[in-house]
Amino acid sequence: MRYDPHETLVAPARPSAHPLRLLAGIVLTVILFLVLSSGISAFHRSFLSPQAWEALAQNLQTGSSPAAVLINLFVFGLLIVALAVSMAVVHQRRIGGLIGPLTPALRQFRQVSLALFALLIAINILPGDDALAPEPNMPFGLWLLFLPVGLLALLVQTTAEEMAFRGYLQSQLAARFTHPVVWMGLPSILFALLHLDPALHGENTWFVIAWAGCFGLAAADLTARSGTLGPAIALHFVNNMNAILFAAPKGNFDGLALYVYPFSLDELGGVWAWFPTDLMLLGCSWLAARVALRR
């Protein structure tokens, strides 16, 4: 296992690698993100009637409309702003350093994205379980109209999360601790725990957390192997595109989905049947990304 390219992201983090600085950066980022989110929420609320705001708030929780999904995704742009401030104030670094050299990052993003698109096409051609076959959700013409802004929103959301977990946390921890168990494991555990939502996932909560943890490890590995966030963003982007824009679980963030699966995330039987397939898809995606990076 060779992680020499990771040094490109780790070296700039060493001058400010003290754990207390990392803690301060995390706290400042979280506070700024919450304050900015509250400010945006208050701004929107000032233009809506109480009834309209209540309806929007309900939609935002379930992601049951295109507007709700787009708002939920674009709000992650505020996380990038919060990270930029924390990087400057706490670490005296520019936020672009979290992504790595831009030209290689864009090239690797393209390589991995194309490989993952090809994988998804191949998998969707194969016959599957009729009981889990997705059902139509949005008219195709309407879905096409929303597709460009949906892709942009997904790019904002996935870039923000990868900058936070693989760009910031992983590089700062790797600058202080040499063992991958620390700098790969801790961000992945935190990433997984942020998916903890018993009200939404019911008895399937730990399935979702386990999947998110595995995703975090896959993204961490690709980041360390490539020396940029390009591959991790591509993995996250294509995965979320498939789960949010193409086929989503019924009633769970399905407002922009062309299709929906015939189960929700809190239904035990459907998720039990779906989870092994989705975990296998994640493993195949990780392997496809590694192969693409070797070209």
Residue for token pair 């670094």 = 93
pTM of the model: 0.94
What's the domain range around 176?
4-293
Nearest to 228 by CA among 4, 1, 5, 42: 5
Q: From residue 244, how far is each of 33, 146, 167 by CA, in Å?
A: 23, 12, 24
Q: In what order do the strands lie in the sheet with 259-261?
A: 135-136, 259-261, 247-249
Whole-number pLDDT of residue 198:
76
Question: Of how many residues is the chain composed?
Answer: 295
3-state secondary structure of 266: coil
Q: What contacts 132, CB < 8 A, 6 or more positions away?
A: 261, 262, 263, 270, 273, 274, 277
Whole-number pLDDT of residue 129:
67
Q: What contacts 287, CB < 8 A, 6 or more positions away?
A: none
pLDDT tens digits for range 109-149: 999 999 999 999 998 887 766 667 789 999 999 999 999 99
Whole-number pLDDT of residue 61:
82
Pairing, β 259-261 against β 135-136: antiparallel
Which residues of the chain fall below pLDDT 70? 1, 128-131, 268-270
How many domains is the chain built from? Answer: 1
Whole-number pLDDT of residue 268:
67
Whole-number pLDDT of residue 53:
79
As a whole number of angstroms, the distance between CA 57 and CA 63 comes to 10
As a whole number of angstroms, the distance between CA 185 and CA 177 comes to 12
Provide the token pair at 160.
Answer: 């923000």
